[in-house]
């Protein structure tokens, strides 16, 4: 899925409309508490500025759902970007309104403006195909997208975290920018390289490790990866639904009883490719590190206990399997990694991945948080910036937001 990169186009003297993911956490004083997503966009931003282009940045923050919420303004993100770049960054108090138009018109080569939160506009997340969507709303969405597209000579998508969403700023805008270059930034380019290309032709053995709470969240991922992987290792709370499907005792563990038949089908379909835990680390009080604890064989959790992590034998077994891998994809923790000692399983898997010589791809969300927490992010090949997007790419889904980008 090779797409034209922002590096492939001449930006000198031109305006680039770049969709970034500045959905950063803010504290009560509206200060950015984690600037990782802004820093991840810097290579694409600096590439345009250093080559004499000017930039119009658009992003969402939070879930305002079409309402203007001062606590979800992008102004703090714009200020953090200015600090990181060491140069002035203009901020428009609207997205396509008078202030945005004025600040875009005033842009000089090397200049940069951040538009206000695109999700303050109801048109951003409007679903064209929904039965409840009226023709008037569709026309408003098109007009919104046309205004955004008219700001620039070049479009660039560097927001992987929302690539699985066919939102106006992701899909409609480039679709309507006819005759203008449509590119991806370095961040999205790297995500495609690892999550799509590496999986479509992986070096083998190819091992997937899937954790998290619900089988239902990862049904399609499991099915897709069983078709392409040599082994799929299961951890997290969803392992207890599989355990229940095998007739095991799960105590007070989180299970999806309505997905037991599905888990049974996946066990049958997966055969020896699907690897389940052989022991479980349990506790009798959620998120209490001082609770009573016991390690039991899988499927033998006491009635008053809840499974919080894979057990030490499973961790050892998974680490051995990981050592033999040439390609590894990991999405979802093995347990309640935020609460020691129930972080042991997730830590063991993370360390085994970090110590291997494999191509190692860490899905976004909790997996990314865990690898960062353990200080191992620089020991793996790639840490995805998009939890939901990485999952859907692992499912093998096509993204409309990427289909409208020019081919390389």
Provide the annotated binding site for ATP: 218, 307, 338, 364-367
Write out the E strands in 103-254: 112-114, 154-158, 182-184, 206-210, 231-234, 249-250
Copy the structure tokens of residue 93. 């108090």
Which one, of 136, 193, 156, 128, lies nearest residue 14 by Cα?
Answer: 156
List 14, 37, 141, 259, catalytic entry? 37
Evaluated on CA atoms 158, 161, 163, 166, the torsion sign reads negative
Dist CA 221 CA 338 (whole Å)? 24
Dist CA 4 CA 11 (whole Å)? 14
Evaluated on CA atoms 286, 288, 291, 294, the torsion sign reads positive
Which one, of 406, 399, 405, lies nearest residue 162 by Cα?
Answer: 399
Q: Find where tokens 């992010």 sit.
A: 377
Q: Find where tokens 């080559």 sit.
A: 51
- H or E element in which residue 76 lies: helix 75-85
List 161, 236, 251, 365, catalytic entry? 365
Check if 37 is active-site: yes
Copy the structure tokens of residue 210. 């899937």
CA distances from 128 to 59, 62, 207, 333 (A): 20, 22, 38, 36
Check if 388 is active-site: yes
Dist CA 119 CA 95 (whole Å)? 9
Dist CA 189 CA 4 (whole Å)? 9
The answer to whether 212 touches 230, Cβ cutoff 8 Å, is no
The SS3 call for residue 342 is coil
Check if 122 is active-site: no
Check if 19 is active-site: no
CA distances from 30 to 27, 60, 86, 278 (A): 5, 15, 20, 46
Annotated binding site for substrate: 21-23, 37, 60-63, 119, 165
Q: What strands, in cross-sheet order, belong to the sheet with 306-310?
A: 293-297, 279-283, 306-310
Dist CA 211 CA 309 (whole Å)? 10
List 36, 69, 75, 214, catalytic entry? 214
Q: Which of the residues are catalytic?
A: 37, 214, 365, 388
């Amino acid at each position: 899925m090779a797409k034209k990169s922002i590096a492939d186009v001449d930006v000198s003297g031109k305006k680039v409309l770049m969709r970034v993911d500045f959905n950063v956490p803010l504290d009560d004083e509206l200060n950015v508490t984690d600037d990782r997503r802004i820093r991840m966009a810097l290579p694409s931003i600096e590439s345009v500025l250093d080559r004499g282009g000017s930039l119009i940045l658009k992003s969402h923050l939070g879930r305002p759902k079409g309402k203007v919420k001062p606590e979800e303004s992008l102004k703090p993100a714009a200020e953090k970007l200015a600090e990181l770049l060491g140069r002035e960054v203009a901020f428009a108090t609207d997205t396509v309104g008078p202030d945005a138009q004025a600040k875009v018109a005033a842009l000089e080569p090397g200049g940069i403006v951040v538009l206000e939160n695109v999700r303050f506009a109801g048109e951003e997340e409007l679903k064209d195909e929904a039965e409840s969507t009226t023709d008037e709303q569709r026309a408003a969405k098109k007009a919104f997208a046309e205004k955004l597209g008219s700001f620039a000579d070049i479009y660039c998508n560097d927001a992987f975290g929302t690539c699985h969403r066919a939102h106006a700023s992701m899909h409609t805008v480039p679709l309507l920018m006819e005759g203008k270059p449509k590119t991806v930034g370095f961040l999205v380019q790297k995500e495609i390289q690892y999550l799509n290309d590496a999986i479509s032709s992986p070096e083998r053995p190819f091992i997937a490790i899937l954790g998290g709470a619900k089988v239902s969240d990862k049904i399609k991922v499991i099915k897709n990866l069983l078709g392409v992987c040599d082994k799929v290792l299961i951890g997290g709370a969803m392992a207890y639904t599989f355990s229940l499907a095998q007739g095991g005792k799960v105590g007070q563990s989180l299970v999806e009883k309505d997905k037991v038949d599905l888990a049974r089908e996946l066990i049958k379909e997966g055969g020896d490719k699907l690897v389940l835990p052989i022991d479980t680390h349990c506790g009798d009080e959620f998120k209490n590190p001082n609770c009573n604890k016991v390690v039991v064989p899988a499927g033998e959790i006491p009635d008053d206990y809840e499974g919080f992590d894979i057990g030490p034998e499973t961790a050892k077994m998974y680490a051995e399997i990981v050592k033999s891998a040439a390609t590894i994809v990991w999405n979802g923790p093995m347990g309640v990694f935020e609460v020691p000692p129930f972080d042991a399983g997730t830590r063991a898997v993370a360390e085994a991945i970090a110590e291997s010589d494999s191509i190692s791809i860490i899905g976004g969300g909790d997996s990314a948080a865990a690898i960062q927490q353990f200080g191992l992010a620089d020991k793996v090949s790639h840490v995805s910036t998009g939890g939901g997007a990485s999952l859907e790419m692992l499912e093998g889904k096509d993204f409309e937001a990427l289909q409208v980008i020019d081919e390389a």
